[in-house]
Structure 1
């Protein structure tokens, strides 16, 4: 169970980094005048960060429960 959570955490962290880079590239391109595309990338980044935080909390709960 713990290994699965760690793999999911690494995947969430990778997805967060990917979305962050894509958002920076979209912002640097300057093609989106309204900023809607950058806003969508920001929302996705925040979602993946929230998933990563929840996974960290689950890992800590599982680790605490297994100790005692």
Structure 2
């Protein structure tokens, strides 16, 4: 599982941290961030629900790591 938080979109509502506190937290400014060491979701079944709970859609959850891009 791969989780991304778009910091430019996040408004700091905190719904992700309330839904999956073992994976999401908030920084000193109140914006969402991943708990250190939990970037893979740590098997938490609530990660996808936390992404759906985000009122601005700042969280993207995919099943695997994105493929590396090749330099041209």
Same fold per TM (> 0.5)?
no
Q: Which structure shows the bigger proportion of residues in helix conformation? A: 1
Q: Which structure shows the bigger proportion of residues in strand conformation? A: 2
Bigger radius of gyration among the two: 1
Q: Which has the higher contact order (CA 8 A, sep 6+)?
A: 1
**TM-score, L = length of structure 2:** 0.28
**TM-score, L = length of structure 1:** 0.29
